């Protein structure tokens, strides 16, 4: 076992963090308040190469291995205060780009991947529906093949990036009686008649990441919009969710490191009863717990990245990592808020926002309960 980072890995992480500090953390308080997505920051990430991480060089990316990817995302979380922006990037990279890389036709790859990498296109993954969330394959959206086209009808909810997206990866059933085997995925451009996007949905956290409903009403798309094989939607969804679960919280390890650093600083500087609050054991213990969570989260994440890079099975580890990182993020951001006292509750201190952002991680990409179900299955329960 070797837990040391190479010189190049250290250098790479420092470069990513510096980039994120310099270009991605402007006025996050204001944009969070207004629910504003930053297209400018998105473009800057593209120029830097973030969106291209999972994409082969031939299509404008860098095809980074899993370990490099988790290091990049961790470093991004350390430098970038805009968790919503990072969440939007993740939503595109793992749930849209990766399935196109893995299952797309050569034409679909050449058409979409270069523009997703260079930031000129934004993609949204539309699976959840009003009546099907955790039970994703109970979806009601239908696709009917007719005269060289598919006709889609139905509606999607909670689609991250939808208000600004140019491309949608939509799941629909071709034949409900066939269950999983009836589901297919479609790449649909925003301007296709019959597809419309609802008003932005306001949410508790990740407010700089836009979200909306997506409606399909007699939405006709040519057959070459089908992604992968007819009826392979469920398998593709499982494949991409396993990757999304693995990477989507890598950045929160960086965020937790940032929260820990500033909590330590604050606990040293803030005095009450004539001494630094860090000298009170209850405050120090909170910070100790933050440190412990950071280290365990990082170990799980790096091990997962290593397993993936080595081509080993990572199904159990991806669920454990998603489960643990989300719970650590929630608890550590709450602990940071307690350390900052009343100031932590005020927006300008940028502590309360992490709490609101963290709660979402218990829900998206499979709720905590669903991750536990997966782990239990792996344990033979
Ligand atoms: C910030 C955010 C971004 C999102 N982005 C997207 C997106 O881009 N695209 C997309 O398609 N969806 C997206 N979602 C939707 C997300 O995938 C769903 O919210 C999630 O799958 C849960 O579905 P639900 O909200 O319908 O809850 P439900 O499935 O109705 O669950 C309600 C409660 O019941 C529990 N529960 C349900 N089934 C079980 C079970 N079998 N065992 C134990 N407990 C269970 C759940 O854990 C939860 O506590 C996003 C959600 C959030 C919060």
User: What DSSP designation does 199 have?
Assistant: P
* In contact, 123 and 242? CB cutoff 8 Å: no
Are the C-beta atoms of 277 and 271 separated by less than 8 Å? yes
Residue 3 confidence (pLDDT):
82
Minimal-distance CA residue to ligand 1 atom 45: 369
Asked if residue 100 has pLDDT above 90, the reply is yes
What pLDDT band is residue 1 in, cutting at 50, 70 and 90?
Answer: confident
Q: What is the pLDDT of residue 265?
A: 98
Q: Which residues pair with 214 in a beta bridge?
A: 156, 197
**171-219 pLDDT, tens per residue?**
999 988 888 889 999 999 999 999 999 999 999 999 999 999 999 999 9
Distance CA 168, CA 214 (A): 9
Q: What is the pLDDT of residue 176?
A: 86
pLDDT at 2 over 90: no
Q: Is there a catalytic annotation at residue 131?
A: no
- 364 CA distance to ligand 1 middle (Å): 6
Contact 216, 170 (CB under 8 A): yes
Cβ-contact 118, 55 below 8 angstroms: no
- Tokens found for residue 59: 């299509």
Q: Are 132 and 237 in contact (CB under 8 A)?
A: no
Residue 4 predicted with pLDDT over 90: no
Q: If you take atom 48 of ligand 1, which residue's CA is the nearest one?
A: 367
Q: Which residues contact 83 (CB under 8 A, 6 or more apart)?
A: 77, 205, 206, 208, 251, 252, 255, 353, 354, 357
pLDDT of residue 376: 98
Would you list the DSSP string of 280-303?
Answer: SHHHHHHHHHHHHHHHHHHHHHHH
185 DSSP assignment: E
Average pLDDT rounded to a whole number, residues 334-352: 98
- Tokens, residue 1: 């076992």
DSSP-derived letter for residue 93 is I
Spacing, Cα 323 to ligand 1 middle (Å): 14
**122-174 pLDDT tens trace:** 999 999 999 999 999 999 999 999 888 999 999 999 999 999 999 999 999 99
- The pLDDT tens digits of the residues spanning 344-371 come to 999 999 999 999 999 999 999 999 999 9
Say how many Å lie between the CA of residue 57 and the centre of ligand 1. Answer: 34
CB 177 within 8 A of CB 144: no
pTM: 0.97
155: which 2 tokens?
A: 């509606």
Q: How much is the pLDDT for 133? A: 97
Candidates 74, 97, 244, 350; catalytic one: 244
pLDDT tens sequence across 50-80: 999 999 999 999 999 999 999 999 999 999 9
pLDDT at 66: 96
> Which of 86, 126, 128 to mutate for ligand 1's pocket (most ligand atoms within 8 Å of CB)?
128
Mean pLDDT of the chain: 97
pLDDT at residue number 374: 97
Which tens digit of pLDDT belongs to each residue from 280-309? 999 999 999 999 999 999 999 999 999 999
Distance CA 53, CA 60 (A): 10
Q: d(Cα 203, Cα 199) in Å, to the nearest integer?
A: 13
Q: Which two tokens stand for residue 252?
A: 């929160």
Per-residue pLDDT band for 81 (boundaries 50, 70, 90) equals very high
Ligand 1 binding site (Cβ under 6 Å of any ligand atom): 91, 125-128, 133-134, 158-160, 206, 360, 363-364, 367, 369-370, 373
């Amino acid at each position: 076992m070797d837990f040391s980072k190479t010189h190049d890995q250290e250098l790479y992480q420092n470069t990513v963090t510096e980039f994120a500090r310099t270009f991605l953390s402007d006025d996050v308080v204001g944009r969070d308040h207004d629910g504003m997505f930053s297209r400018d920051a998105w473009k800057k990430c593209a120029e830097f190469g973030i969106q291209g991480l999972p994409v082969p060089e031939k299509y404008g990316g860098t095809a980074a291995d899993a370990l490099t990817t988790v290091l990049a995302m961790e470093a991004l979380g350390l430098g970038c205060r805009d968790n919503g922006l990072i969440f939007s990037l993740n939503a595109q990279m793992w749930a849209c780009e990766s399935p196109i890389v893995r299952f797309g036709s050569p034409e679909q790859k050449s058409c979409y991947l270069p523009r997703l990498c260079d930031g000129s296109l934004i993609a949204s993954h539309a699976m959840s529906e009003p009546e099907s969330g955790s039970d994703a394959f109970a979806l009601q959206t239908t696709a009917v093949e007719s005269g060289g086209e598919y006709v889609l009808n139905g509606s999607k909810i909670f689609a991250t990036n939808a208000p600004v997206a140019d491309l949608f990866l939509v799941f629909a059933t071709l034949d409900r009686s066939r269950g999983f085997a009836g589901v297919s995925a479609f790449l649909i451009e925003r301007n296709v008649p019959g597809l419309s996007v609802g008003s932005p949905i306001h949410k508790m956290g990740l407010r700089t990441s836009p979200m909306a409903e997506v409606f399909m009403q007699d939405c006709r798309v040519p057959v070459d919009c089908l992604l992968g094989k007819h009826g392979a939607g469920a398998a593709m969804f499982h494949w991409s969710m396993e990757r999304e679960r693995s990477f989507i919280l890598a950045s929160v390890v960086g965020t937790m490191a940032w929260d820990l650093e500033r909590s330590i600083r604050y606990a040293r500087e803030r005095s009450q009863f004539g001494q630094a609050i860090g000298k009170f054991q209850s405050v120090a213990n909170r910070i100790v717990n933050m440190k412990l969570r950071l280290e365990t989260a990082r170990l799980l994440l790096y091990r997962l990245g290593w397993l993936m890079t080595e081509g080993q099975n990572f199904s159990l580890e991806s669920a454990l990592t998603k489960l643990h990182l989300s719970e650590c993020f929630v608890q550590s951001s709450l602990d940071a808020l307690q350390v900052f006292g009343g100031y932590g509750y005020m927006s300008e201190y940028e502590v309360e926002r992490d709490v609101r952002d963290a709660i979402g991680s218990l829900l998206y990409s499979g709720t905590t309960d669903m991750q536990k179900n997966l782990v239990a299955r792996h344990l033979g329960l």
